[in-house]
Structure 1
Amino acid sequence: MTDVAAPWEGVDLSSYALPGGGTLLAALALTAYAMQGKSKAGSRSNEELNAAIERTVGGFFRGIGRYVAGRDLVGEPRSTATWWRSGVLVNDAGASVEDVAAIPGPRTPTSPVSLSKPAPAGRPPAGRWLLMPLRVVASMGRALAAWTRWPHAARSLVRLAPLAVAWGLWRHPEQTGPVLIGAGAVVLLVAFTGPGGLAWWAPRRATDDELLGPAVWAAARQVLRLDEESTRRKWLRLDPDLSAEGARIVLRLPLEWMGGKDAMGALQHIIDTRIPGEWVAQWERSGASQYVQWTRKPKSAEKPVLPEYVEWKSTGNRYEVFVGQAIEGDRIVDVMVHTQSATPHWGVGGDTGSGKSTVLYIPIVHGRQHGELIDILDTKQNSLIEAEGHSGVRVHKTVRECISAFAEFMVSMMAAEGAMGKDAAPGARAQLIPRLLVIDELPTLIKMAYVWWRYGLKGKGTPPFLEWFSIILLQGRSSDHRIVVGTQQFANTFFGGTMERSQIGTKIVVGLQDRISWGVAFGQSTPVIQYDTTVKGRGAFADKRQAPDAEHLYVREFQPAYITPHVAQLLAACPSAPGWFDAGEMAPWITEEVLKEADLVAAVRSFLPGGAYGPTAPTTVTPAPAAGVPAPSPSSGHVTGQGGAPGVTAHATAPGGGPAPAEDDALPPTYSLAEACAAGIVPWKHATARQYKKRSEERGISFPEGVTDGRTTSYSEEELKDWVTRWQASNKRG
């Protein structure tokens, strides 16, 4: 076959087309000539011409370089893509609504960025395979739409591919066809195995630095007053995964940046609003390299939960009383009352029925196990019934008995102080035995004592009861005479003053507490802590420790130990008390000299057994019947316990046998002004009665003094009616 010559064979192509460089030079020459002509016409100066030429040539070459390098031809980069890595769109002015919507949100370790739409739940596998070609095509379309996010190498390859294909079809058409078919097959294979098809591979997930860094940098650059030429990589660094442990955000600070409080707060605000989670700043401003570093705020430890039941245990130390468990920080600790330190006396507060009387069993058992002698003042007469019937525990129930025990306890304390001195008689100290006074319902006792004094005994002036209490609180520790109180509120009125109340070193409150009672117990500046009031006995406590991060008492959530079911058994196992105690006698170290001195300074003799105001007989401890033997009736007499055997009952006895007369039954009932108005004793409404009370004082008509429990003043019916009569008579005269 004769070869047919191609039309262009033998023709010199160089005469028809200039090389690429020649074409470029010709274009530049023509441009320069045209602009020079304009310059001659006076439109531009020579400097402007040279600058225009440089801009034109530079822009031309930059455009070629951007095209070949796979970068955007004009403007700032629209994504964070690099030569080998894909990127995410940046929030620039040229981004379209669709582009912004395509920006992926903060990722999670288990949710990679996908180019495919998830299949609806419940679709059968067959449908999935039938629709796979459509999903593959759709994923290819989404991939093409994300052109600006491609790696620059891939974009460069796509841009240069048409030139390579054109050259191949021109110079080697036979070989180029199969290559194009193979390339297409590879593209289809990649598409079918990708996220739109079999999902054998997935595109690289964007890092947190790519997703969140641009927004942080755009705002931080303004605060730092950096120019637009400053690059983010030089000043700001975000770890790729900010959810990882130890993740950091580091921002360099210019040396000339003043960075006042407002500016530092602005940088913190940027992080708080643009980075998920909570971040803590650490500033370094003193070195040659200044920066601020943010680390994720440590997760607060899960708050421990107190058990609903705490078993009581003995400490083996007389001066350490285990009372329950509390939460300190992120741990549960045992609560000890250290009675040898600054907290010799302690107390429990709470409303009636909150469980404070149950807590008082703890010092009773602990004291008896260590040989202490216990006096209980229980005007409710049944709140500490589990402690009755055991040697070493005297329970005083009437007001007269309680006040007498109060007086004897104070004299015992004063005598013990003397017996411990250097000038004491030999052997006096050996007689001493530690003693504990447990007062249940202190406000009730104080109020009843005042009613008894004012209306029962017709006493004049102020009774000495609170003065005794104050003296014991201030001096009791040095003589091993301690007090534990149960009270509705730790008000100064019940203790004689602020100085005396502060001797109650450990204060425990149980049950629901109103804000006033909380402030009275722990101080007005102490914040109220929340605890579950549905749990029996749950409350709070504070000793004389200051809060680690504030200037107020360290109050902790508290669950007292529950000892009630074991009280009788534990007390029965304690050593017997001395016979004089169970017999109701005064302490043997109380001498006549001490008694005279105490009576001189505190007026106690009249309130002791046998005195004018004392009980007709002391409170004694008598053996209880053995198991299975019926208890004797009150009229069957009593047996005085000389040996202090376990299983005894404490009560007051008359000289001729049998129980003492109910000396408090004759006390008149008392009413607050509101109660008196409601009962008709005062014939006006409460608001009117209060006005008349104020007016009567202005007219010189005395109003009854009454008695108070610290919050409410009460009056007898007789004195209220007397005041009403005098007030009405004054109105008639007027």
Structure 2
Amino acid sequence: MIRVTAPWVADPSFAAMASDSGFEVRMVDWLTGHRPDASQLQIGLIAGLAAISVLCGLGYRRMAEKGKKERPGVNGAFDALGEGTAAAVGALGLVVWRFCVGEPMWGEAKTDATFLGPGDSVTRAPMNEDSPTGETFENKDAPRRFRLAALLLLRGRSVGGADLLTRTWHSWPGAVRASVRLSAVAVAVGFWLGPLWTVACFAGIQLIVLVVIVASHRGGRGRKDARRYGPGLWGALIQVLRLSAEDQKRGRNHWMSLSDDLSSDRARVVIRLPLFWLGSEKERAVLAHVVHSRLPGQWVAAYAQRGRDPYVEFTPRPPAPPEPELPTLVEWIRSDDPARVYVGETFQGPRYVDTETETPHWGISGGTGDGKTTVLLLPVVHGRQHGALVDCITMKAAAFKDIEGESGIRVHKSGRQAVAAMAEFYVSMKAAESLQGTPEVERLPGRILVIDEFASFVKSAKIWWRYGLQAKGMPPFEAWFHMILMQGRSANHKIVVGAHTFTRELFGDTETRDLVGTKGIVGPASNPKWGVTYGLDAPRVAYKHEIKGRGVIGVTGSQAIEEIQYAYITPYAREYLRQCAAAPSWHAAGEMAPWITPEALKEAEDELAIADFLPGGAFMRGATLVTKTNTRAVQGPAPRSERVASNGKVADVTGGVTTYHDAYHQQADQSEETKLPVFSLKEACETGILPVRYDAARQRMTRARKAGQDLPEGITVGGATYYTAKELVQWWTLMETLKRPSPAPSM
């Protein structure tokens, strides 16, 4: 092993002096023997003069910075030399101090590391850019990277650990950096004096690093948000609180206090308020803006301005409660109140439709397949459970198949039969209304008219009216519908309507549409659909329309529109209906209500010329109200008034209707309603009935209307006009004939 020793230790004369008892005398002799020669003195003199010059220059600059007056001559030179020497000694002492405590040797610190704790990188930005103090922090998780690098070194992975430590040097705790520096000096001395010292130094370094790692691992987890965000908040508070210079001298810690971990649920930000700070709503809003713009997270303020020490405490805003969710499937439940129909669940709980209001009729809107017919089963089952008799109108063959044939329910699936059912329902309402104030009225059952696909019913009825009866003008059943909506409440005759959309054109006018009080939507709703259902000023409700049976419900004229999951009753509807009391036999037999007296019939005829549309009337020869039935019916007379029983004309009313226009209607169409297809103008062009494009046909019809030419009458449903193919072809042929130039007269 090679042993390295210092030069003076190897000198024999030095060893001899050290062994002699007269060490001091011989030390003088040794120094005399090693005095420098002339060349060495010259070099030393030059170096000394250079050092004096540098110190003097440094002194002159320091004096100028301090504003000291420079004395002339030698005195000034000595002043500068003294000032420079003091500055050099001070700088050297500062460097030695920084070297020993682990601080940067020169310049400003690049991180916010302390003597015992690692830090994050600090970027020195210009004032008022990122923070009032010009400091911004980059959270690169330097403490974790430092510990990782140290552990790599301890495990023998020196290359990776050394590289990572080098890149994170400024983030190390000051104690670690000081240990590394002093260890480097110790290693150098060790190599100089001997290998044993070197090994000891390496072992000491390992021990120091291990201790620091453990200490930093325990204490380095804590965040330092107070130091990170405090300067920025303090700079803004000076402006917001209008702190004077004297107030600012009290320091940041006097006016504000921040938790070290602002992400904690228990974090607090306390700001002392000056006594002159009024705390108006605007001032509080500005202070809240400052806190939210300078600190991460959302905060809630609690002011305490009473007393001699006002302050405001900001605490983390509690997390928003989870958004409530409606169930995706709601089972129907029975309602014991005949006037309240359970329809589903909202965020406020069970939702009922009240049928004892000024607008007791209600409706449901939905597209094909959205569940509109399923919702219409709810009033049917509810009404039957409370003794009501139900007539259902639909143009769909498969509709109401889950309840068809049950006692107390008649399903009408043709246009003529549906018109007869509505006519009978209207006359029944008028007769029941005439019994108001008598004891008999309490015995009358309630009645419900459910109309599914309202637009299809109107279209089918108009086709029969226009092309089956060859009638002109407005069909009378539109007036019946309006009258039932207006007067049905007092007679306990209610209507429930199902439609794709509640347009004004479908109902004839806005007044008739608004008589349908509660309106629901199942499935998606476009903006136009929302507007015609609840009004253009009704706020939209966001709901998950993609869920089957999900929709909204509200009352006409009200802003309280709720999301709802409609009850699902389809699999159990027939079972519920079979648990109800059997309906009167006259209802299952397709007869009219027995309380319809000739007087009530005559009154209805005088008002709306309705007798010819009743079963057995001039327009309804062969039409019947009998529908599919597979259940029992109550035998014997149904509840009726004494007037009906005493006049002896019950059979005349229920078996056949005496009309007042038999001679006029002898040639009327007595067959089932026509199946003649009709087309809109656009459909006629697309199917080739008209040999032009839709735009051209529409322009031709517009010009013909302005010129006063005859146009096909057609039928209007929901704002759209429909024609038969024969009508359109005849009109187009006439138009083409009028376009041809007249032949020139022969000479």
**What is the match of residue 674 of structure 1?**
682
Is 2:602 aligned against 1:602? no
- Which residue of structure 2 aligns with residue 448 of structure 1? 460
> Which residue is equivalent to 1:115?
146
- In the other structure, the counterpart of 2:229 is 212
1:466-477 → structure 2 map (5 Å cutoff) = 466-477=478-489
Tell me which of 557, 561, 565 is aligned to 1:559: 565
How big is the shift at 1:416? 2.6
CA distance in 1, matches of 2:556, 2:233: 45
Cα distance in structure 2, aligned partners of 1:522 and 1:379: 26
Calculate the TM-score normalised by the size of structure 1. 0.70
Kept in 2, the 8 Å contact 1:701–1:726? The answer is: no
In the alignment, structure 1 residue 319 sits paired with structure 2 residue 339: yes
In the alignment, does 2:559 pair up with 1:543? no
> Contact 1:391 / 1:644 at 8 angstroms: preserved in 2?
no
Matched, 1:378 2:394: yes
Q: What amino acid is the match of 1:131?
A: G
Residue 486 of structure 1: aligned partner:
498
Would the aligned equivalents of 1:400 and 1:615 in 2 still touch at CA under 8 Å? no
For the pair 1:691 / 2:694, whether they are aligned, the reply is no
- Number of the residue aligned with 1:590: 596
State the distance in 1 between where 2:606 and 2:126 align.
Answer: 99
Q: Which residue of 1 aligns with 2:79?
A: none
Note the C-alpha offset of 1:564: 2.1
**Residue 363 of structure 1: aligned partner:** 379
- Once the 2 structures are TM-superposed, how far is the Cα of residue 383 of structure 1 from its aligned partner? 0.8
Is 1:131 aligned to residue 148 of structure 2? no
C-alpha displacement of 1:263? 8.4
Shift of 1:438: 0.8
Q: Distance in 2 between matches of 1:37 and 1:685?
A: 104
SS at match of 1:414: helix
Q: Is the 8 A contact 1:506 1:541 kept in 2?
A: no
1:610 Cα deviation (Å)? 2.3
Structural mapping, 1:628-643, within 5 Å? 642=635
1:498 equivalent to 2:510? Answer yes
Matched positions, count: 631
1:335 aligned partner, one-letter code: R
Name the counterpart of 1:340: 356
- Find the partner of 2:261 among 241, 244, 257: 241
What's the CA shift for 1:654? 11
Kept after mapping to 2: 8 A contact 1:598/1:604? yes
Answer yes or no: is the 8 Å Cα contact 2:267–2:316 preserved in 1: yes
Alignment of 1:301-312 (within 5 A): 301-312=321-332
Structure 2 vs 1, CA of residues 644 and 597 (structure 1 numbering), >3 Å: closer, same or farther? closer
Alignment partners' CA distance in 2, 1:128 and 1:686: 84
CA contact (8 A) 1:510 1:538 kept: yes
How far, CA to CA, are the matches of 1:722 and 1:183 in structure 2?
Answer: 115
Find the aligned partners of 1:194 and 1:38 in 2 and give their Cα distance.
Answer: 51
| Cα shift at 1:439 | 0.7
Q: CA deviation at 1:687?
A: 0.6
Q: How does 1:292-303 map to 2 (within 5 A)?
A: 294-303=314-323
| Matched residue type, 1:438 | V
Q: Kindly, what percent of the aligned residue pairs are identical? A: 35
Larger gyration radius, structure 1 or structure 2? 2
State whether structure 2 residue 472 is matched by structure 1 residue 460: yes
Would the aligned equivalents of 1:104 and 1:113 in 2 still touch at CA under 8 Å? no
| Native 8 Å contact 1:345 1:473 kept in 2 | yes
Shift of the alpha carbon at 1:242? 2.1
**Structure 1 residues 41-440: aligned runs within 5 Å:** 91-93=123-125, 105=139, 113-117=144-148, 130-131=155-156, 145-146=170-171, 150=174, 188-195=206-213, 201=218, 203=220, 205-219=222-236, 221=238, 229=248, 231-251=251-271, 274-277=294-297, 279-280=298-299, 282=301, 294-327=314-347, 333-341=349-357, 344-421=360-437, 424=438, 427-440=439-452
For residues 227-264 of structure 1, the C-alpha deviation after alignment (integer angstroms, 9 at most, x for no partner) is 78564334443332222225344455667779999987
Sort the Cα spacing of 1:142 and 1:554 in 2 relative to 1 into closer, same or farther, 3 A: same
| Maintained 8 Å contact 2:431/2:596 | yes
Q: Give the whole-Å Cα distance in 1 for the aligned partners of 2:229 and 2:316.
A: 15
TM-superposed CA distance for 1:582, in Å, is 2.0
Deviation at 1:321, TM superposition (A): 2.4
Q: Specify whether residues 37 and 232 from structure 1 end up closer, same or farther in structure 2 by C-alpha distance, changes over 3 A only.
A: closer
Partner Cα separation in structure 2 for residue 94 and residue 474 of structure 1: 77
* CA deviation vs aligned residue, 1:538-577 (integer Å, no higher than 9, x gap): 331212399xxxx944231x33333222232222221111
Structure 1 position 715 matched with structure 2 position 723: yes
Q: State whether residues 343 and 503 of structure 1, in contact with CA within 8 Å, keep that contact through their aligned partners in structure 2.
A: yes
Structure 2, unmatched stretches of 5+, are 1-18, 26-58, 74-82, 128-133, 187-198, 639-653, 657-668, 743-747
The one-letter amino acid paired with 1:452 is W
Give the distance between the partners of 2:105 and 2:162, measured in 1 at CA: 28
C-alpha distance in structure 1 between counterparts of 2:140 and 2:274, whole Å: 30
| SS of alignment partner, residue 350 of structure 2 | strand
Cα distance in 2 between the residues matched to 1:508 and 1:409: 24
Report the CA distance between 1:406 and its aligned residue.
1.2
Q: Could you tell me which amino acid in structure 2 is paired with residue 721 of structure 1?
A: V
Q: 1:467 to 1:365 in 2, by over 3 A?
A: same
The answer as to whether partners of 1:79 and 1:89 remain within 8 angstroms in 2 is: yes
**TM-score of the superposed pair, with normalisation by structure 2:** 0.69
Match of 1:531 in 2: 544
1: CA distance, partners of 2:445 / 2:140: 73
The CA deviation string for residues 44-99 of structure 1, in whole angstroms up to 9 with x for no partner, is: xxxxxxxxx9xx99xx9xx99xx89999999999876789987666554599xxxx
Query: How many angstroms does 1:132 deviate by?
Result: 6.2
Asked whether the equivalents of residues 583 and 641 of structure 1 are also in contact (C-alpha less than 8 Å), the reply is no
**Shift in alpha-carbon separation, 1:235–1:580, aligned structure 2, 3 A:** same
> Relative to structure 1, is the Cα distance of residues 35 and 301 closer, same or farther in structure 2, using a 3 angstrom cutoff?
closer
Q: What secondary structure does 1:244 align onto?
A: coil
CA distance in 1 between partners of 2:316 and 2:670 (Å): 72
Q: Summarize the Cα distance change of 1:541–1:477 in structure 2 as closer, same or farther, 3 Å threshold.
A: farther
Residues 520 and 238 (structure 1 numbering): CA distance in 2 closer, same or farther, change over 3 Å? farther
8 Å Cα contact 2:371/2:522 also seen in 1: yes
Tell me by how many angstroms 1:673 deviates.
0.4
**Cα distance between partner residues in 2 of 1:368 and 1:292:** 64
**Residue 503 of structure 1: how far off its partner (Å):** 3.5
Counterpart residue number, 1:175: none
Deviation at 1:678, TM superposition (A): 2.6
Letter in 2 for 1:539: R
Say what the alpha-carbon RMSD is for the aligned residues. 5.4
SS at match of 2:331: coil
Structure 1 stretch 615-624 or stretch 377-386: which is displaced more?
A: 615-624
Once residues 379 and 36 of structure 1 are traced to their aligned partners in structure 2, the CA distance between those partners, rounded to angstroms, is 109
Cα distance in structure 1, aligned partners of 2:107 and 2:345: 68
Partner-residue secondary structure (3-state), 1:527: coil
Distance in 2 (CA, whole Å) between partners of 1:389 and 1:644 is 21
Q: How far apart are the structure 2 equivalents of 1:625 and 1:262?
A: 74
- Whichever residue aligns with residue 214 of structure 1, its letter is P
Return the structure number with greater helix share: 2
2:714 alignment partner AA: G
